[in-house]
């Protein structure tokens, strides 16, 4: 039997003499073509949450109309879509979205079609003649001063813990100054300068400084002093309000922690009203108008740019002032044997 030939050796270079491995050239991704919705969003300077809402509403409309080309959308499509939203079931099981949700969807379509017209992608804006849905009457959103004081009285009894009372009193004072619960949650220690609170990243770009009353400043100073005693880091970038619960102790207090705090105060006060943090913001706006603060100044204090939006917060104040004016007229009429 013949012997097998010796195998041919293979030499592998290592170290400094080794040749570098040449990586395979990456295959470039196929560019994604932008459609008109993408282009519209790129042209707008909007916040991430607003962008998400625009995408959801515009893409939802596209699905509803079977991806009909935007240039082929007409008044009838918009009118039928409005009727569809009125019959759309909600997560709570009700039939029909709220007027605010429907109007928001219509406003998004109007803004988009206006942009299409401006860009000359289409000739006519089909949303021009579609009216908003009238808002349904709602309960009074502000609270009587006596009811607010009853909530404040419960601060000393919530949980029977001094730490909760000190922290919650500071939070409650900020809510009384018109801050939203989310804004209070997002505050850092550096946002307080001893005189005012600087609100950043707020809803609808309502950033700004909120001057504080002496009572609110005293509550914050007491709380910050307590934080130092407890050894919390009080650097400017640290959360202003921390959770004191067993599971999340020391972490930033979230929106729901503030919401539950107000609900607890309402339970202690045995309130029969639907009390929640945002009602204190409405109360703040109402009191500004009742106190004859000029509308421009009141909107500045509430960090509201639109007079229309401001009217939502102060409608009850106007009603109260009208009632007061009428009662004054009655008294003068009685004194002078007038018409009334």
pLDDT in tens, 168-199: 999 999 999 999 999 999 999 999 999 999 99
Single out the residue in 65, 100, 118 at which a domain terminates: 118
Low-confidence ranges of the chain (pLDDT < 70): 1-33, 136-140, 159-161, 334, 336-340
Contact 199, 188 (CB under 8 A): no
∠310-315-320 over CA atoms, to 5°? 135
**CATH for 215:** 1.10.443.10
Q: Could you count the other beta carbons within 10 Å of the beta carbon of residue 140? A: 13
Start-to-end Cα distance in the chain: 135
169 vs 188: CA distance, rounded Å: 17
What are the Cα distances from residue 142, in Å, to 238, 269, 317? 32, 17, 9
Apex CA 109: angle with CA 107 and CA 114, to 5°? 95
Whether 262 and 151 map to the same domain: the answer is yes
Domain count across the chain: 2
Same domain membership, residue 183 and residue 101: no
CA angle (39, 41, 46) in 5-degree steps: 155
pLDDT of residue 339: 62
* Domain residue limits at 263: 145-277
Residue in the structure block whose two tokens are 């004054």: 328
pLDDT, residue 31, reads 46
């Amino acid at each position: 039997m013949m012997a097998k030939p010796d195998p041919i050796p293979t030499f592998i270079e290592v170290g400094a003499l080794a040749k570098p491995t040449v990586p395979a050239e990456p295959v470039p991704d196929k560019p994604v073509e932008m459609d008109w919705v993408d282009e519209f969003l790129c042209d707008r300077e909007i916040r991430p949450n607003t962008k998400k809402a625009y995408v959801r509403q515009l893409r939802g409309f596209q699905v509803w109309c079977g991806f009909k080309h935007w240039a082929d959308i007409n008044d009838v499509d918009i009118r039928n879509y409005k009727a569809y939203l009125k019959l759309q079931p909600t997560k709570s099981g009700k039939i029909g979205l709220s007027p605010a949700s429907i109007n928001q969807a219509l406003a998004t379509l109007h803004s988009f079609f206006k942009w299409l017209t401006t860009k000359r992608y289409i000739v006519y804006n089909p949303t021009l003649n579609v009216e908003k849905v009238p808002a349904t009457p709602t309960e009074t959103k502000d609270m009587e001063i006596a009811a607010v004081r009853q909530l404040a009285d419960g601060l000393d009894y919530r949980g029977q813990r001094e730490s909760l009372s000190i922290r919650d009193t500071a939070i409650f004072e900020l809510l009384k100054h018109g801050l939203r619960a989310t804004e209070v949650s997002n505050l850092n220690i550096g946002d307080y300068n001893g005189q005012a609170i600087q609100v950043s990243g707020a809803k609808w770009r309502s950033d700004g400084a909120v001057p504080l009353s002496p009572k609110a400043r005293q509550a914050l100073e007491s709380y910050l002093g307590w934080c130092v005693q407890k050894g919390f880091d009080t650097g400017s970038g640290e959360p202003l309000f921390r959770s004191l619960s067993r599971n999340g102790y020391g972490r930033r207090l979230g929106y729901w922690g503030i919401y539950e705090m107000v609900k607890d105060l309402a339970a202690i006060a045995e309130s029969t009203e639907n009390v929640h943090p945002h009602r204190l913001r409405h109360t703040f706006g109402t009191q500004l108008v009742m106190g004859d603060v000029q509308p421009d100044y009141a909107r500045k204090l509430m960090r509201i740019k639109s007079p229309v939006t401001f009217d939502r917060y102060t409608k009850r104040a106007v009603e109260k002032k009208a009632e007061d004016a009428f009662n004054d007229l009655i008294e003068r009429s009685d004194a002078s044997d007038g018409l009334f």
